[in-house]
Chains A and B, each alone.
Chain A
Amino acid sequence: MIPAAFDYIRAHSPDEAFSHLQQHGGDARVLAGGQSLIPAMRFRLARPAVLVDINGLADLGRLELGRTALAIGAIARDSAIERAPWIGETRWSLLHDVSRVVADPVVRQMGTVVGSLCHNDPSGDWTAVALAARAAVVVRGRQGTRTVPIDDFLVDSFTTAVGEGEMALAVHFPVPGDRTAGSYQKVERKVGDFATAAAAVQVTLDGKGAIKEAGIALSAAGPCAVRVTEAEQALVGQKPTADVIRAAADAASKRSEPQADLRGSVEYKKNLAGVLVARGLRQALARLGVQA
């Protein structure tokens, strides 16, 4: 399968990439890992006239763990997260989990976190994780750079706050506080398949063992990944008990608006969303030494 013809531009700096994008507007696309874009071009679902390749921008390949945020640059691969020296720490367990189940291990060596967010597939993995972890995307626009909270970044299926002629430079994940753990629960038919249903969960406990902060999001549950605010509200301020977990799980099932396909019926997927939130909460809590 051969994509439609296009012009290829290799960018040598973020400024250069940006000016090409500005010049070509809606005709141009950023080429990051290419693991979503190239398959779409082969099927001719996408026919960009110009590709601006940002893979040469080594500075955008870095993971920078600062005091308040982890900055993941636009060409940092999924595999870089998988291999990061700090990925085994409990507070990063949500990122740990997802970095092992996105696509397959070869795709993860090219595919990027930021590219995945920009692609915004309804069944993508990083979008739900970014919601649960309250990440924000740094977008370069004509007025300079702006930081867009993930809730505003994910607009609709395959649509984000990145406008024509703009590009995303990085995603920032807040450094989780002490006593934070997460879990990513994905049911897939086989390795490399998109989720039948998936839940991203992150909780922080206070000194007394009550839930101080909670992030709960679903993938494959609507036009794009969704935050389950009702589940977060059911958790915050509570001691983690089986009842509280059930309330959060029920809220997730209710919030899920999946589409029936070969992976399952609407009823099955809605139920699964709740099951996965409960499993994720139990695993995150277990990682903090709490049985619930």
Chain B
Amino acid sequence: MKVTITVNGTPYTRDVEPRTLLAYFLREHCGLTGTHVGCDTSSCGCCVAVLDGQTAVKTCTMFAVQADGHEILTVEGLAAGGALHPIQQAFSDQHGLHCGYCTPGMMLTTVALLKHTPAPTEAQIREGLAGNLCRCTGYNNIVKAVQQAADVLRQPAAATK
């Protein structure tokens, strides 16, 4: 089936089998390998991308054909004009990553979380990231990073992000 999916603002038209999972569409058909596959069983959250600007989805649990005509944001789409996105900057500042394998999923889940909850409490951050597993950083710094990102994004200057 021919599909056109707009990934990070760029339309990608590809011929895919309906059974192609979105994670593999992104990685193998678009060459965007920033979306990681951790478990391939819908459990770890490494593969999370954002659908239509507001829904965090596990791309291993969605078919590419479902995203035909929709917009997907992946980690490659976060930085703009050579500047890190405030969420990326916060993960760097707060040491919110160690090996980095879970990080794209953490950050994209954060995009959707902050969209719906711009001023989250620590508990809301912990609950909001409960579907994302990190096996090495430990969660404290990740929570701090999300808190910093939320603070920065709430400032008027960052409103366009």
Mark A residues whose CB is within 8 Å of B: 1-8, 10, 31, 34-35, 38-39, 41-42, 51, 53, 55, 83, 100, 103-107, 109-110, 191-192
Shortest Cβ distance from B80 into chain A, in angstroms?
24
List of B residues within 8 angstroms of A106 by Cβ: 45, 48, 56-58, 109, 131-132
**Is the CB–CB distance between A34 and B130 below 8 Å?**
no
Q: Is B128 an interface residue (CB 8 A)?
A: yes
Mark B residues whose CB is within 8 Å of A: 1, 17-19, 21, 40-43, 45, 48, 55-58, 61-63, 65-66, 68, 109, 112-113, 116, 127-132
**Is the CB–CB distance between A38 and B42 below 8 Å?**
yes
**Is the CB–CB distance between A51 and B40 below 8 Å?**
no
- Taking each of A10, A103, A105, which has the highest tally of chain B beta carbons within 10 Å of its own beta carbon? A105
**Is the CB–CB distance between A34 and B55 below 8 Å?**
no
**Is the CB–CB distance between B61 and A110 below 8 Å?**
yes
Rounded to whole angstroms, the CA-CA distance of A41 and B41 in the bound complex is 11
Contact partner of B130 among A4, A83, A104, A110, CB < 8 A? Answer: A104
* Nearest B residue to A53, CB-CB: B66
List of B residues within 8 angstroms of A6 by Cβ: 18-19
Q: 7 closest pairs, A vs B, by CB?
A: A104-B131, A8-B18, A106-B131, A191-B130, A3-B19, A8-B65, A109-B55
Rounded to whole angstroms, the CA-CA distance of A1 and B63 in the bound complex is 13
Shortest Cβ distance from B148 into chain A, in angstroms?
20
Rounded to whole angstroms, the CA-CA distance of A65 and B157 in the bound complex is 38
List of B residues within 8 angstroms of A8 by Cβ: 1, 18, 63, 65
- Can you give 16 contacting A-B residue pairs, CB < 8 Å? A4-B19, A8-B65, A34-B62, A39-B41, A39-B42, A83-B116, A105-B109, A105-B113, A105-B131, A106-B56, A106-B109, A107-B58, A109-B112, A110-B62, A192-B43, A192-B130
List of B residues within 8 angstroms of A191 by Cβ: 130-131
Shortest Cβ distance from A83 into chain B, in angstroms?
7
**Is the CB–CB distance between B57 and A110 below 8 Å?**
yes
Shortest Cβ distance from B27 into chain A, in angstroms?
13
Contact partner of B63 among A34, A104, A109, CB < 8 A? Answer: A34
List of A residues within 8 angstroms of B109 by Cβ: 105-106
**Is the CB–CB distance between A34 and B61 below 8 Å?**
yes
Rounded to whole angstroms, the CA-CA distance of A232 and B60 in the bound complex is 42
Additional pairs, 12, CB under 8 Å, beyond known A107-B131, A110-B58: A8-B1, A31-B66, A35-B61, A42-B21, A42-B41, A51-B63, A106-B48, A106-B131, A107-B58, A109-B112, A191-B131, A192-B130
Rounded to whole angstroms, the CA-CA distance of A55 and B128 in the bound complex is 24
* Nearest A residue to B68, CB-CB: A10
Rounded to whole angstroms, the CA-CA distance of A239 and B71 in the bound complex is 55
**Is the CB–CB distance between B58 and A7 below 8 Å?**
no
List of A residues within 8 angstroms of B55 by Cβ: 109-110
Shortest Cβ distance from A31 into chain B, in angstroms?
8
**Is the CB–CB distance between B42 and A2 below 8 Å?**
no
Rounded to whole angstroms, the CA-CA distance of A227 and B40 in the bound complex is 35
Shortest Cβ distance from B107 into chain A, in angstroms?
13
Shortest Cβ distance from A189 into chain B, in angstroms?
13
**Is the CB–CB distance between A2 and B19 below 8 Å?**
yes
Instruction: Given A105-B130, A106-B57, decide whether A42 and B40 contact each other with a Cβ distance below 8 A.
Output: yes
Contact partner of A105 among B62, B63, B68, B127, CB < 8 A? Answer: B127
- Taking each of A4, A8, A10, A35, which has the highest tally of chain B beta carbons within 10 Å of its own beta carbon? A8
* Nearest A residue to B43, CB-CB: A192
List of B residues within 8 angstroms of A2 by Cβ: 19, 21
**Is the CB–CB distance between B42 and A51 below 8 Å?**
no
List of A residues within 8 angstroms of B1 by Cβ: 8
Rounded to whole angstroms, the CA-CA distance of A51 and B20 in the bound complex is 13
Rounded to whole angstroms, the CA-CA distance of A191 and B66 in the bound complex is 27
List of A residues within 8 angstroms of B112 by Cβ: 109
Shortest Cβ distance from A55 into chain B, in angstroms?
6
**Is the CB–CB distance between A51 and B48 below 8 Å?**
no
List of A residues within 8 angstroms of B40 by Cβ: 1, 42
* Nearest B residue to A31, CB-CB: B66
**Is the CB–CB distance between B45 and A38 below 8 Å?**
no
